[in-house]
Chains A and B, each alone.
Chain A
Amino acid sequence: MSGTERTTGRTSSRDAAEPDPVDAGPGARTAASRPLLDDVDGLLDEIDQVLEVNAEEFVRGYVQKGGQ
């Protein structure tokens, strides 16, 4: 799917009960390094760039048939 091919890393162990690595909840954790609204004008300018120019039409037209 993603283009790159990787070989599946297999271990030679036949013991299916071998524990997996622990749930590394905090493992690769990256905390926020600045307040959410730091340099709020700069942030809002960036947000304006990703909003559709015609938000009203977009919002009205965004209809998804019901999922589950």
Chain B
Amino acid sequence: MRRRVFGLETEYGISCTVEGRRGMPTEDVARRLFRNVVSWGRTSNVFLENGSRLYLDVGSHPEYATPECSSAHEVVVHERAGDRILDDLRRRTQADLDEEGIAGRIRIFRNNTDFSGNSYGSHENYLVERHGEFQPLADALLPFLVTRQIFAGAGKVLLTARGAVYVLSQRAEHIWEGVSSATTRSRPVINSRDEPHADAERYRRLHVIVGDSNMSDLVTWLRVASCDLVIRLVEEGGALEVPLLESATRAIREVSRDLSGRGAVRLADGRDLPAIEVQRHYLEAVERFLAERHPDDLDAQHVVGEWRRVLTALDRDPMSLEGELDWVAKLRLVQAYQDRNGVGMEDPRIGMLDLAYHDIAPESGLHQLLVRQGRMASLVAEDDVLAAMDEPPRTRALLRGRFLRAAKEHGRDVTVDWVHLKLNGEAPRTLMCKDPLIWDDVRVDRLIEEMAVDR
């Protein structure tokens, strides 16, 4: 059975306000959030027992990297577990502030933009085989990634020189290249940085940084699962005529600003093709590929079934997906709010509503409110999310999680990263776990046994 390793890295936005006005500076809030983590890991970069990594990123964004996942569904579960872990930190930090008599309310948002032109991301990682060439893979994926926002966009109220407009994507306006190694200066769709955190002879990392932070389970799942299938088609040499874009950066903006999904992208050969047709082109190529090579792969059939269902509904009436797609749900809320209050898109309450959709606290997050009230769908049971706060997926993350748990249990000092497990002490020992798919390793078993006896 074919398996791939997936991971999602999420940067969160934070604020601390007193009745809406800026309170404690963001950097200080971030530091306080991590104080609870730091006291445990003694650094602002820790691996947790569920195999994930939590750290303070550039610009004081808390960042949560899921453990190595082996399916798109696991990615959804662990993405949501990350929200819960961050929300636990928020709760504890809020309690600290209250106790110390410091005024301020902390909020954490899993979105991608502030209102001053800054952006932070939701980065997908796909482990791909080294044997294929990277550039053709990146080229083949680009038009797919540029147009998938018609279902994967998280929706955004964008302030422009000519007033506020609603756009499909949070990230589109912040993307400046197709493929490059830049991150903050000139963000690309695909970052070519190659850190596989695995046997570099066999694997490389495909790092997609164009994505929005989706609150909808279905969208996170479909965005990862559909991308996986396109990668697989290219990896296995399936037939795909790539609709090369004239300019990825222009196309991504044009698609984002056209709520019909029919916004055309200009191809290198001069033709204009609606975004939805580009998506259909990929879907159909994947369907042909699966029919020929993997007719019995039911998981893949399910993915293309959902992909097709969503594209068909988008074509007929995007609003029919109000219970599933982030950008549609948010747009409907914005319009309803405007209607009742007679306010324009530029009203700050609309901006606040946009943000509140992404608030990770169950009591104040709008997306969570909609799910709780049966207004939006979910794919994952809450119990699975709670379990994933502690339990790693059955990948290398399981080895890391067991190692960390045993170290805590036996009071041993250890250092870990994605690949290494190090037992510190008089005779330090380091294990290298190069295959992210291997979740059972007798060397790790032995090292854990030694922790118990060898003190």
Interface on A for B, CB 8 Å cutoff? Answer: 1-2, 4-6, 8-11, 13-17, 19-20, 22-38, 40-41, 43-44, 46-47, 50-68
Question: Residue of B at shortest CB range from A46?
Answer: B369
| Cross-chain contact of A14 among B63, B377, B379, B440 (Cβ < 8 A) | B440
Chain A residue numbers with a CB within 8 Å of B440 are: 10-11, 13-16
Tell whether B49 is near chain A: CB-to-CB under 8 Å. Answer: yes
Residue of B whose beta carbon sits closest to that of A29: B379
| B370 cross-chain contacts in A, Cβ below 8 A | 36
B199 at the interface (CB under 8 A from A): no
- B: contact size bracket: 35 or more
17 inter-chain pairs at a CB distance below 8 angstroms, sorted by A residue, are A1-B389, A2-B389, A6-B390, A10-B398, A16-B439, A20-B3, A20-B394, A22-B71, A24-B73, A25-B306, A26-B379, A40-B340, A57-B20, A57-B22, A64-B13, A67-B59, A68-B120
Tally of contacts, chain A with chain B, CB under 8 A = 228
The segment out of B238-246, B269-277, B329-337, B423-431 that lies at the interface is B329-337
Given A25-B73, A54-B20, A68-B120, A32–B377 Cβ distance below 8 Å? yes
Q: Within the assembled complex, what's the spacing in Å between the Cα atoms of A63 and B113?
A: 9
Known: A25-B299, A47-B366, A62-B15. 7 other contacts (CB 8 A): A23-B303, A36-B329, A51-B349, A54-B21, A55-B20, A55-B351, A60-B115
Residues B19 and A53 in contact, CB atoms below 8 Å apart: yes
Closest to A22 in B: B299
Q: Quick one: closest A residue to B23, CB to CB?
A: A61
Contact A8 B402 (CB under 8 A): yes
Q: Any chain A CB within 8 A of the CB of B48?
A: yes
Choose one: A40, A51, A64; the contact of B61 (CB below 8 Å). Answer: A64
Bound-complex Cα distance A44 to B347 (A): 16
Pick the 6 closest A-B CB pairs, nearest first.
A67-B120, A54-B20, A65-B59, A32-B323, A33-B374, A61-B22
